[in-house]
Amino acid sequence: MVVGQHFNMKHHDLIFSGAHIVSGGKTKLIDMAIQGEKISALGAPGTLGSAEKIFDVTGKYIIPGAIDVHVHFREPGYSYKEDWYTGTQAAAMGGVTTIFEMPNTNPPTRSAVELSEKKALAEKACVDFGIYGLLAEDNLNEIDSLISDGANAFKCFMGNTFGNLPSPSTGAMLEGFEKIAKAGLRISLHAETASIMAHRQKKLEEAGKNEPLNHLDARPEIVAIEAVSRAAVLAEWTGARIHVLHISSAGELRPLNEAKIRGVDITGETCPCYLYLDTSNYENLRSVIRVNPPVRTKSDSDEIWKALRNGVIDMIATDHAPHTAAEKMKESIWEADCGFPGVETQMPLMLTAVNQGKITLEHYVKISSENPARAFGLWPHKGNISIGAHADITVIDIHRKETIKAANLHSRGKITPFENFKTTGAPVHTLVRGRFVQKDRNICSDIKGHGKQVSDIQKMPPAKPNNAEHAIDKILEK
């Protein structure tokens, strides 16, 4: 956060005055000016000149807008659950200014054709976005065209989840890693081993075991430990950049950290449900709590908090995955859809943790904005409050008290395990590239279509494959 520089000392579009600005691990009482889509000046209070509008936010904090690299907006194919407009409205309400949307739609984003169709649907987005391409067994010949046509990252489902996309073999994963490494794009992993889960769930169902905790029985932490370990070895061999999604267990932290120590370009995220919920919540929440991977024990939650604080886990995301109440409220746990909305509630939940002393506000900014921007090639344009960066900012009232109510969520999915959860701290204004998309805890009008894909700023230099001479494409060329 550089203070005292400017594009234009005389006149700006907007000046925020009176706030504490949090960025780069520091908090300072300074004014911030915006010109067009970018931050144009930072300086001591009253020193930035004039503006079309001076916005007094005394007593508030300004942070870089959150970047959620893990959301499911369900369109195409399941727009009755969510679409790009409702999902990005929820993001704006949650202080999230950039999202990355997952490929398990219908059809899945497995080729340049589906990518183009999804881009057209995303034209109604209210916040900026990236789009994942799929890495699967049967679309390896589509990877290059997905990259050239603007996929911002790739998703590999090592374990089954909504949409029932088949998990690729390890051979297909290796080839996909080799191809994507050349472009430098990050590969996000649903890191659970499909064969173990399928075997255990089949035996549980045959025995008539269908209670909520049986979902956890089908997916013990070994499925994550094995999958993270295997993916890390493949990434080490190929030079691929990988990201472990929704870390839920203490066990997978060891292979994650060991891979980092070995120099693997690996990052990891967790979600609020793995921090705030545990097996004690299954009895009351029943099928509402079903999510992949499952919510685990209090001991797992405690270790995940530690890893989030010490940097083993790099970022907070949400796995925003809305469903209808009818799809969630099932007697048999195997029939309930997995997941729930999260993009709107993440920041209030994590600011509550700040107020409780579990993390500092500066560290929250690091895991919600700075680290995602760096890992996915958006730095320094996003995740950063500095001169020339995008004016993607969230103004927070650290003391504002609210109660999470499903009926008030802007997502089409109106069911959450955090129903009636009391929070302290909330995003009261959200700006995307200098424009208010949420103001005074209300969605702004005429923001439909304001969001842009991040391809024009994303910089992911090619990785340096450790064993490029052994890549299958290279061998076939000989």
In the block, residue with structure tokens 């374990």: 159
- Contact status, residue 194 vs residue 170, Cβ threshold 8 Å: no
- 100 in the same domain as 33: no
27: domain CATH number?
2.30.40.10
Take residue 10 and report the two structure tokens written for it: 């005389």
Each residue's pLDDT tens digit, 456-475: 999 998 887 778 778 777 77
- 32 in the same domain as 80: no
Each residue's pLDDT tens digit, 232-254: 999 999 999 999 999 999 999 99
**In the structure, what pLDDT confidence band is assigned to residue 163 with cuts at 50, 70 and 90?**
low
- 289 in the same domain as 237: yes
Beta bridge partners of 29: 20
How is residue 461 annotated by DSSP?
P
Give the separation between CA 181 and CA 463, rounded to whole angstroms: 5
Give the separation between CA 387 and CA 396, rounded to whole angstroms: 21
- Orientation angle between helical segments 222-238 and 253-262, nearest 10 degrees: 10
121: domain CATH number?
3.20.20.140
The confidence score (pLDDT) of residue 10 equals 61
Of 314, 319, 392, 397, the active-site residue reads 319
**Cα–Cα distances in angstroms (integers) from residue 454 to residues 129, 238, 377, 382, in the given order:** 6, 26, 9, 10
Take residue 71 and report the two structure tokens written for it: 């959301």
Which carries the bigger pLDDT value, residue 95 or residue 475?
95
- 319 in the same domain as 392: no
Classify residue 466: in a domain, yes or no.
no
- 370 in the same domain as 428: no
Classify residue 101: in a domain, yes or no.
yes
Mean pLDDT for 264-281 is: 98
The confidence score (pLDDT) of residue 62 equals 98
Beta bridge partners of 66: 96
The confidence score (pLDDT) of residue 6 equals 46
Q: Is the previous residue joined to 322 through a cis bond, with omega within 30 degrees of 0?
A: no
pTM summary value: 0.96
Number of domains the chain contains? 2
Beta bridge partners of 315: 269
Take residue 107 and report the two structure tokens written for it: 């059809």
- 88 in the same domain as 43: no
- 284 in the same domain as 353: yes
Does 138 participate in catalysis according to the annotation? no
Take residue 53 and report the two structure tokens written for it: 């509008």
**What is the extent of the structural domain holding 173?**
65-375
| 3-class SS string, 130-150 | EEEEECCCCCHHHHHHHHHCC
- Contact status, residue 397 vs residue 404, Cβ threshold 8 Å: no
The confidence score (pLDDT) of residue 467 equals 81
Classify residue 81: in a domain, yes or no.
yes
- 157 in the same domain as 294: yes
- 78 in the same domain as 54: no
- 109 in the same domain as 205: yes
**Cα–Cα distances in angstroms (integers) from residue 462 to residues 133, 183, 239, in the given order:** 17, 5, 9
Take residue 447 and report the two structure tokens written for it: 């923001």
Give the chain's radius of gyration (CA, Å). 22
- 345 in the same domain as 300: yes
